[in-house]
């Protein structure tokens, strides 16, 4: 069942007061309550309660009543939390996965490779991305299409996890690929996987949160940027991502639930990047967008 976050947006000070009211209401029970900063400049915070979808109506009413005296007009917003148990997900079903011309398989399935497959060997491990998740498979499918249809002379895989998408690009085209991840373990795993897939040069791996590294300036701007993260960080990143994209360059975004896609499309439109196509896999969407 889906996890839901109900939240109220407020200034830091007000969010603190709301947090106290919510703690009074839910303190004895097993709900996670939190405040998070969303925009430092505008002093915007969110005070949230996390719950399961089937309790939503009851909890919404309880939040409204807890806030009714002090903040009667605060709208209560909601967000469906995607399943972010990446590693557990990546261990699901270890059968080979086909997407576009790619076959992603574990070392125990080398005999499943057919003559025309572009095979990528990834064993389930400490980083996300064995190809089994709908978002990874969706990205592979779109990567295959984009590399066939458009001139791409370099690429960035942001949030590389196991390195699977960066490896997929490099297997089809001998172009420089930058692969980054916020998690140093993922970067280590991606490096090992690249080597295991016979990639000895042309792929640079860096640990970096978002676009915070000199590597982006040194390697960019990019003809192709792939980011399979989550809707929210992707929306936040839109202007910076646009900055590192060549005119006419392609963007492949995933980690987006179907219901979130319009918001993401709008955020990118605002950054001058227009939506071309969307594919669906298991409730997740992967989108292809283009600069200009």
Q: Which is nearer to ligand SAH, 180 or 260 (CB)?
A: 180
Q: Minimum CB separation from ligand SAH for residue 187, in Å?
A: 9
Q: Which is nearer to ligand SAH, 93 or 209 (CB)?
A: 209
Q: Which is nearer to ligand SAH, 48 or 193 (CB)?
A: 193
Inter-axis angle of helices 261-270 and 231-243, to 10 degrees? Answer: 20
Q: Minimum CB separation from ligand SAH for residue 138, in Å?
A: 9
Which DSSP state fits 43? T
Euclidean distance between CA atoms 85 and 71, whole angstroms: 35
Give contact residues for ligand SAH (rule: CB under 6 A): 86, 127-129, 135-136, 139, 158-161, 164-165, 180-183, 186, 209-210, 228-229, 233
CB distance 96 to 109 below 8 Å? yes
Q: Which is nearer to ligand SAH, 44 or 208 (CB)?
A: 208
Q: Which is nearer to ligand SAH, 10 or 226 (CB)?
A: 226
Nearest 5°: phi and psi at 46? -125, 130
Nearest 5°: phi and psi at 206? -140, 145
Residues forming beta bridges with residue 100, ordered by sequence position: none
Pairing outcome for strands 222-228 and 155-158: parallel
Which uninterrupted H or E stretch holds 48?
Answer: strand 44-52
Q: Minimum CB separation from ligand SAH for residue 88, in Å?
A: 12
Euclidean distance between CA atoms 1 and 129, whole angstroms: 23
Q: Minimum CB separation from ligand SAH for residue 158, in Å?
A: 6
Q: Minimum CB separation from ligand SAH for residue 139, in Å?
A: 5
């Amino acid at each position: 069942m889906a996890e839901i976050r109900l939240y109220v947006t407020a200034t830091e000070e007000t969010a603190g007061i709301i947090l106290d009211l919510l703690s009074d209401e839910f303190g004895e029970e097993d709900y996670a309550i939190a405040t998070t900063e969303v925009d430092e400049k505008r002093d915007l915070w969110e005070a949230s309660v996390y719950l399961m979808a089937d309790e939503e109506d009851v909890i919404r009413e309880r939040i409204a009543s807890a806030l009714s005296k002090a903040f009667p007009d605060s709208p209560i917003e909601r967000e469906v939390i995607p399943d972010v148990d990446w590693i557990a997900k990546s261990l699901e079903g270890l059968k080979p996965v086909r997407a576009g011309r790619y076959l992603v398989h574990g070392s125990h399935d080398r005999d499943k490779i057919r003559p025309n497959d572009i095979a990528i060997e990834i064993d389930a491990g400490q980083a996300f991305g064995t190809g089994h998740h709908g978002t990874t498979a969706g990205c592979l499918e779109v990567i295959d299409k984009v590399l066939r249809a458009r001139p791409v002379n370099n690429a960035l895989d942001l949030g590389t996890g196991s390195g699977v998408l960066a490896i997929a690009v490099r297997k089809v085209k001998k172009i420089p690929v930058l692969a980054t991840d916020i998690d140093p373990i993922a970067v280590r795993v991606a490096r090992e996987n690249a080597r295991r897939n016979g990639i000895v040069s042309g792929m640079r791996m860096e640990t970096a949160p978002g676009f915070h590294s000199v590597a982006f300036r040194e390697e960019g701007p990019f003809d192709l940027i792939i980011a399979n993260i989550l809707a929210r960080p992707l929306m936040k990143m839109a202007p910076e991502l646009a900055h590192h994209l060549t005119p006419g360059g392609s963007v492949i975004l995933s980690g987006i639930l179907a219901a979130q896609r319009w918001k993401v499309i709008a955020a990118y439109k605002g950054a001058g990047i227009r939506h071309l196509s969307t594919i669906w896999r298991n409730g997740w969407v992967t989108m292809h967008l283009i600069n200009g």
